[in-house]
Amino acid sequence: MNPKDIQSEKCISLETYRKNEQPVRTPVWFVIKDDLILVVTRDQTGKVKRLRNNQNVRIATCTFKGSITGEWDSGTATILDEERTKEAVKMRDKKYGFMAKIAKFLSKSKGELLAFSIKLN
């Protein structure tokens, strides 16, 4: 899959892995930059904890509630530095508009904003 092929989609299902290798699927918003999929989240979320232990991920397009609508693809996640996180937040806010502002407010208790990139294999 080429990341540009899913650019117009609203959500992807992000599959991360617990220490016991059990997969956890989470629907997430995303943006595309330089053939990388960028995801903005908070640093205290479960997906970030799992990514710190295992950077292997799988993604597929999905509905807002997580029903899979596309094919699964494997990739590797990399947590971004502060400057690239700010850029990803701006891109996310532009794509999702008012909904992104609401999400930012509702997720404040989950720590600081953090972004990670996914490079598909």
Extract the tokens encoding 62: 């999905």
| Paired residues of 119 in beta bridges | 76
| Paired residues of 39 in beta bridges | 116
The domain limits of the chain are 3-120
Residue that the structure tokens 């918003």 belong to: 29
Q: Which secondary-structure segment (H or E) carries 40?
A: strand 36-42
In order along the chain (121 residues), what is the average pLDDT of each group of 10 residues? 90 97 97 97 96 98 96 97 97 94 90 97 94
Please give the CATH topology (third level) of the domain spanning 3-120.
Answer: Pnp Oxidase; Chain A (2.30.110)
For position 50, what pLDDT does the model report?
A: 98
SS3 46: helix
